[in-house]
Amino acid sequence: MPKAYVPKVVTANALLEGDAVWLTADDRWSPDMAEAELLMDAKAAERRLADAAKRQSEVAGPYLADAAATDHGPVPVHFREDFRARGPSNYFHGKQTEA
């Protein structure tokens, strides 16, 4: 039996700031994963990733990351994405100063 599809988000690193960003449904890059477009279909996810890969002047290294739906938007499924969503780990700056 085929494995069940896990919803995805498109993520990358902002080219100028280096921060982790997520692609929104209205084609913006947001530093807040909760604003990301949650892709419920594998073909749609691949199309969105292909579109993101063309935006080399904005981001580096776009890829699909597993995510789960919540009432507040997508959340990470794996540790790596949870770590990226919280921001840099060497000291409090960027996203961490707002929390």
Question: How do residues 42-66 score in pLDDT, each as one tens digit?
Answer: 999 999 999 999 999 999 999 999 9
Residue 1 lies in a domain: no
Residue 3 lies in a domain: no
> pTM of the prediction?
0.84
Token digits of residue 22: 């997520």
Least Cα distance to 43 among 35, 51, 34 occurs for 51
Chain centroid offset of residue 38 CA: 9
Q: What percent of the chain has pLDDT over 70?
A: 88
- Contact at 8 Å (CB) between 49 and 59? no
The average confidence (pLDDT) of the chain is 89
The continuous run of DSSP H or E covering 20 comes out as strand 20-23
Residue 2 lies in a domain: no
Query: Domains in the chain: how many in total?
Result: 1
Residue 63 lies in a domain: yes
Nearest-5° angle of CA 19, CA 16, CA 47?
Answer: 70
Full domain range(s) for residue 79: 8-98
Average pLDDT over residues 23-41: 97
pLDDT at 22 over 60: yes
Average pLDDT over residues 5-26: 94
Tokens 């949870």 correspond to 82
Residue 61 lies in a domain: yes
Residue 18 lies in a domain: yes
